[in-house]
Amino acid sequence: MTSWSTSLATLYYGILADAVDWRSFTSGPVVDLGGGNGHVAIDLATRFPSLEFIVQDLLPNESAFKATVPPEPVSRVTYQVQDAFNPQPEDLEPSAYFLKAVFHDWPDIACIQILKILVSKMLKFGSTVIMMDQCLQEGKFPLYFEGVIRHSDIFMFSLFGAKERTLPEWEAMFATAHSRLRLEKAVQPSGSESAVMQFAIT
């Protein structure tokens, strides 16, 4: 993650910022589920001053990271110890959940378990799920690039029983978690292995 955040981060931050109408999520905090040290949340908070973020992870390491960031926007980014497989805090009223490269580490059954937990908040507060993750496009990548992605697919399966997914596979997985959970928007820049996908209860 350190290597990613110091190399490709600038490119992906821009893609993420442009792909979503972030300014619309002001009814409650945006929850960065599995957000690590909060580097994505802090970048988004810098770009969108009207938003507040909660970074959830098992072992949030905010102290060292916050020390390198100016007080603003750190004041709008808080941290919370949270297992994604446990119910979300009862007092949390999120406008959106954001997951960056979380689900490609898990098999469908585990992803669906996490989604079912989030659905209860989505139904109650109209929350949205925004996801940035690998999205395979058959025959649409340069041969070498496709080879890299297929290698990642095998790697994820070997380590975690997980996989990289196509957009129809993402949609099917979300629909399995809840019959009304639908894809609202998907943005995948040309040549990017990652897509930004937005799901809501319809």
pLDDT of residue 112: 97
One-letter identity of residue 107: P
The rounded distance, in Å, linking the Cα atoms of 132 and 195 is 6
Mind listing the pLDDT tens digit for each residue in 73-116? Answer: 888 999 999 999 999 999 999 999 999 989 988 999 999 999 99
The rounded distance, in Å, linking the Cα atoms of 184 and 202 is 9
Q: Which of 88, 94, 116 is nearest to 173 (CA)?
A: 116
The rounded distance, in Å, linking the Cα atoms of 144 and 139 is 11
Question: Is the pLDDT confidence value at 60 over 70?
Answer: no
Lowest mean pLDDT across 18-22, 102-106, 184-188, 194-198: 102-106
Q: Which residue has the tokens 């949270």?
A: 82
Can you list the domains of the chain with their CATH numbers? Answer: 2-201 (3.40.50.150)
Catalytic residues: 104
The rounded distance, in Å, linking the Cα atoms of 163 and 104 is 6
The rounded distance, in Å, linking the Cα atoms of 171 and 195 is 13
Q: Which of 57, 200, 31 is nearest to 119 (CA)?
A: 200
The rounded distance, in Å, linking the Cα atoms of 195 and 133 is 6
One-letter identity of residue 108: D
Question: Is the pLDDT confidence value at 180 over 70?
Answer: yes
Give me the torsion for CA of 86, 89, 90, 96, rounded to 10°: -100
The rounded distance, in Å, linking the Cα atoms of 76 and 51 is 7
pLDDT band at residue 56 using 50, 70 and 90 as cut-offs: very high
